[in-house]
Amino acid sequence: MKFRVERDVLADAVAWTARTLPVRPSVPVLAGMLLDAGEDDGRQRLRLSSFDYEVSAQVSVDIDVDEPGRTLVSGRLLAEIVRNLPPQAVEISTDGAKVVVSCGSAKFTLLTLPVEDYPTLPAMPELTGSVLSDAFAAAVSQVAVAAGRDDTLPMLTGVRVEIEGETVTLASTDRYRLAVRELTWTPQDPGVSAVALVPAKTLADTAKSLTSGAQVSIALSTAGSGEGMIGFEGGGRRTTTRLLDGDFPKYRALLPDSFNSVAEVQKSEFVEAVKRVSLVAERNTPLRLAFSDGRLVLEAGAGDEAQAVEVLDASLEGDDIQIAFNSTFLVDGLNAIESDIARLQFTTSTKPAIITGKPVDDGASDYRYLIMPVRLSS
């Protein structure tokens, strides 16, 4: 194998691929990065791949190939080396069991790993459609915040992706809150219908890392074909992720549709106030909110402990309400909405509340964050 490539192109590609390298590989070859130089669709391309059995990453860049070939080298080492190369053309070639990287006056030799032991990368499922990369990354981060981190309930560590025609619905919950986001996309088949449960952390990382291209293609094997993979592709980068199995809660029934009170509060002031007041709240003690005409009183702490009170302006339609929340969950929800004004909808102090942004034209909000109140004794 022998090829030349621009330093910056290589550095970007290697750094991106290296993100998926396992920190503690279960078998040594997984610490390797696969380099495959050759023709791809009539162009001379280098494909870099990494795989940890759950997530695979592959990026393809333009190169000048002298001699096609495949080799496996230590991924972290390659990333470290490439990051420090001077800004000149890089030549990479194999020499027996070694790979030589030269760039200007710098020269490195890397030992190769057994390429025949390297697991076969999963094939990309069939293309299902595409979405704007920035919008997708934003939507995923809004939802992923509510995903569970408890491995004993694996289905709650995922984001449920529901595709129905031109609408994609993302949802996740950890049983204390639930985030739902709808967005439109461009499916290949307008009648498409599919669901998948994608590990939340992987999905968030992936969505964020694919914003270099304008569009992200999403490839999902249709229900029943048993592939168990979802693939994302954008800007020459593609990743696949193993899907989670298990039944996601039927969350739509949980979202209330009628409310007794609706409050609106300036978001940034609200977040600041919550953070300040909750300083005195011990772990797991709630933050109490009292909405009445024109104002919101935030309180935390009780009895002999330190106490804090803060008053904010707030508009309220409907009944006065007193309700208590876990302050971290409340801040997560407020930070996730896109509008400057947070709208909170309540039924009673023991029923879940919904946080949304104030819609621009009084339509329905495409993001809803459901939060369970903490029951107050007396």
Write out the residues near another protein by the rule CB under 8 A.
Answer: 23-25, 27-32, 51, 53-54, 56, 73-74, 76-77, 79-81, 83-84, 101, 106-111, 113-114, 116-120, 122-123, 151-152, 154, 226-229, 240, 242-246
d(CA 179, CA 147): 8
Segments in the chain forming alpha helices (H): 7-18, 75-83, 133-144, 200-209, 267-277, 327-336
CB of 113: closest distance to another protein in angstroms?
A: 6
CB of 236: closest distance to another protein in angstroms?
A: 22
CB of 75: closest distance to another protein in angstroms?
A: 9
CB nearer to another protein: pick between 100 and 135? 100
d(CA 221, CA 161): 13
CB nearer to another protein: pick between 110 and 302? 110
Cβ atoms of 232 and 124 within 8 Å: the answer is no
CB of 108: closest distance to another protein in angstroms?
A: 3
d(CA 226, CA 240): 15
CA-closest candidate to residue 301, choices 322, 289, 285, 321: 285
CA-closest candidate to residue 65, choices 86, 104, 36: 36
CB nearer to another protein: pick between 142 and 240? 240
CB nearer to another protein: pick between 223 and 309? 223
CB of 321: closest distance to another protein in angstroms?
A: 41
CB of 60: closest distance to another protein in angstroms?
A: 20
Cβ atoms of 59 and 9 within 8 Å: the answer is no
DSSP state of 372: P
CB nearer to another protein: pick between 56 and 173? 56
d(CA 334, CA 268): 9
CB nearer to another protein: pick between 29 and 89? 29
